[in-house]
Amino acid sequence: MPIHATAVVDSRAELGVDVEIGPYAVIEGKVQLGDRVQVQSHAVVRGQTTIGADSRIFSFACVGGDPQDMKYRGEETALVVGQRNVFREHVTANRGTSHGGGVTRIGNDNLFMANAHVAHDCVVGDHCVFANSVAIAGHVLVQDRAVLGGLAAVHQHGRIGRCSMVGGGGMAAQDVPPFTIAQGDRARLVGLNVVGLRRAGFTREVMSALKTAYRELFQAGMPLRIAAEQVRAFYSDVPEVIELVDFLESSQRGICRSVGSPDAADE
């Protein structure tokens, strides 16, 4: 277990097999590091934080820090991270808050590039990519295989749907539906994430159905509620389309509108 002589490791920490901790790294509190986790020089892992096997934390990252929330009063909360995650230089991922459920959760196989930030009480799925300097506020949900381009940001309580993409510099003040691309300030939908869907193994038939559903929902000029009802009825046998409609109908913050559509949300 190669732990550098200058590393500081709390006696309460639990370390798995073949964990590596570099020079001047700090492991503070009830931290659990899974097998083969690497913590590079000057990185910090603190609090009640669990890091899954084969994850890597690069220099100057701070994982498991206190939530940046005015209501936080030092209560014990947690950060739970799955396997094979990569936290590059200066990434921050904060624990949850008691009023938000107490736990920030990150799934498996995610890449957080330099300076990215995951705030308190967020939930990040699997196979997501946060490019350089991406920031998501508290209580944000990022579903599987979402990609956030450099300098993108997501408003608190926002949702980023499965296999969607927020373009570089995009400011997502409302929910970004699954399978779509949103960009700009404030972010608007510009189409389906065709490349992402291909990479995720979507069939040509499913992608065709999603393209038609997208046009009906966001470009036909109908109120979103009525369009969603029609699309649900027509594509009841396509689970991906139903997933898209379910996401729209469950939105609390409203949906990013398509380029060229009115600003006001439809009833």
Alpha helix (H) ranges present in the chain? 194-199, 204-218, 224-234, 239-249
Residue type for 30, please? K
**Do strands 165-166 and 129-130 pair parallel, antiparallel, or not at all (unpaired)?**
unpaired
Q: Do residues 219 and 209 touch, judged by C-beta distance below 8 A?
A: no
CA–CA separation, 228 vs 266, rounded Å? 12
Count CA atoms closer than 13 A to 61's CA, side-chain side.
28
CA–CA separation, 116 vs 118, rounded Å? 7
Contacts of 113 (CB under 8 A, 6+ apart): 88, 91, 129, 130, 131, 132, 134, 150
How far does CA 15 lie from the centroid of its chain?
A: 26
Q: Which of the following is catalytic: 109, 121, 126, 144?
A: 121
Q: Which of the following is catalytic: 34, 96, 100, 138?
A: 138
Q: Which of the following is catalytic: 90, 117, 120, 127?
A: 120
List the structure tokens of 89. 């230089």
CA–CA separation, 75 vs 78, rounded Å? 10
CA–CA separation, 212 vs 156, rounded Å? 31
List the structure tokens of 230. 């029609």
Is 138 among the residues known to form the active site? yes
Dihedral Cα 31, 34, 36, 37, nearest 10 deg: -40
Active site amino acids = 120-121, 138
